[in-house]
Structure 1
């Protein structure tokens, strides 16, 4: 809701600062490697500035030069954090100069040079704030643990995740594996560690895409409406709220975190506090304390209980994501290779869940299908030819069990069943009187009526229907043999919820009866 520490026998204290090295202790090879990286960074910075000049001169190759220069800088940063003796702080100087120049220009303190105008300024603003966090990472994510001071609050969080909250942690991991190819690239591009993405998602939603809080936060990363809108989330024009989309939510989350890191001295703890307790509050507390650490009593006590719990719990989940074996934690193996499932006949996620079976999983595939296809509700009736995001395993099971055969028929029967149809309606009941034992002449003599029974007229096809309590649009569509999407379109109902209310009149255009 926008608002780790490696052990080796014993837990060690970790700091956020980059490690420093004595240059004289370096080998000649290491010294040469560091010097080469420094030269590469300087060359990339020069290339960036020349790109800005080209842009100012309306040279179309300017933008590609700027983009390539930024990629060069990021490559140097990635190499620096793995190179002994390389100072991340020194390497970041180039980024800082570019950022400062852009800020000075925006404030009017520095006039644009070489004809560089507004577009160049906007490109300088595009230098990712992640660059200032990139030095905290290396390829395997281990340097990330040095970002956070390990303390008993995080230890308590680890204990909670491993005891009463273990099922939630396992569910979060399994859910995340299906969405990883959608979410992780957004954090990777932003220079943020995957473990942080997992920690936030686990605490916020347990990896349930359609999760919505009482306060109105929505989606796997639990964005409030206003904050989500600021980062490009919301109604996409079709009625779908992209806060529920895992790819979009992860991208917005990465942008939000890097924005907070940029103004909170790269403090993961304070940035997480902002994510949960509100960016305004976090900024005021940070400024008022003179930039003190989140764990400083004067800072810690200014956040609500929920935020004081949230920060260590996210860090704890991220730590366990990195080091499960140290705690005897075994995450489930998930076959999440992506594939497209094209429906050969009308179905719903509920029906697919039944016919697919467990397929070697603990709980089947409903959550995976819902997370990968957030636009559809589980009971939405999907027409033949609809393409769904799935996995190779799901597609194989679908072709075996859901296209035809007894299980496919059974799944369809179960989904189409309506509990209300169990109630038999036989018409008005004749009240029983004291003369109930009196047999009439016709009854006693067995006299049959000579009049032929009238053939009831075929009822006219209804054109509308009044919604009853507890009904969904999908249930109504099944009752009258309609397509849910067509019915929603006729009645101007927005996906994915197709919200209806008891007493509402629904037009039945296009239904068979």
Structure 2
């Protein structure tokens, strides 16, 4: 009898240990812990997070047994992709409940704002992922401005990210009589993400403090933290005494994040293709919107709507000269604008196939066939095919010269098109740079990587083609320019 009892005890102990080791490993989270100063109605049990210790970094929860997770499939809906990558732990309190109820009473809010965000949101998400920042930041322009590129606050903060002039200038945003980069969605995104990264470091990895500082200023949040420290109070975001606008600011973002991740009745999560529906193009020189509209087949009004950083019908002589065009890659390849200014020729060599040529120039076989009006897959050695490389520099893209053409800047910039490349097994930064004939260092810089970074299959890289040497000024024109300049400065 005694032996039988011992056997039963051993079986029970073994069973408990097996159950403990079989617990699933939680995904890494960004914990935003705070201690509510009042009681409130809890969220449904399945969404109510457990209390956690404050941490200043994104770190996986340690476990004795680590399970290897399969790489998740790419969501076709960009909003589902965003939802799958939201990791802030959301705690319930009155401020959050109030904002959640507001969104639930405005069922058309997100679909309406999504229409304004649609041309840019994929690019913003990609920039956030490249910088390894929280996906919640992709929702910040919705909270800041309802995604209105030209909106200005009473404090003269402008654009979807609501940047003031001094901050925008500090983080490299251009602004003059021709162009305001704060109204340029992609240019202002780069500046806003750099600023948020800076604030995250300044506040010791606390994203709620960083977001509060983004809204009301670094100094004000630091003073509020110091006041609480002196009084022996908690320094979490919800314990700080901040202006009402800032006190409501973070709950707006957390509530929107919660509903995007956990849609409820009365809240519509939009549908948006998880692929670029616009293409950024650097035309390489000063341009006139009416000329680009005529060449590309895109209406001038639509071009202005997509590129609201430009304040006039012409770009500045000093740049930038980039445009967002509302076309997919296939439509762009078929347009006369692309064929005239960017499409070059490739001569078919021995052992070439349509697939190998398309892969080399980051095109689908279908797109390559469309560009060359081919009905089958047959190609011959010596045959000339149109591909995505530059043929000649565009002719003048402005209606009238403002000054003599001989006094234009001597530097000529090669036009480029932004493309996406999905890393394949065996690829490296070096092999991809050689494939597209771009500098290895530029490829790493474009994607916020180090020169020795190891690439994972399926990773999306950004390339700007072509990246070629700047053509030299013809000697005759160079001499003429020098003679003209001398005549202007010599005393009479």
TM-score normalised over the length of structure 1? 0.44
Q: Rg larger in 1 or in 2?
A: 1
TM-score normalised over the length of structure 2? 0.45
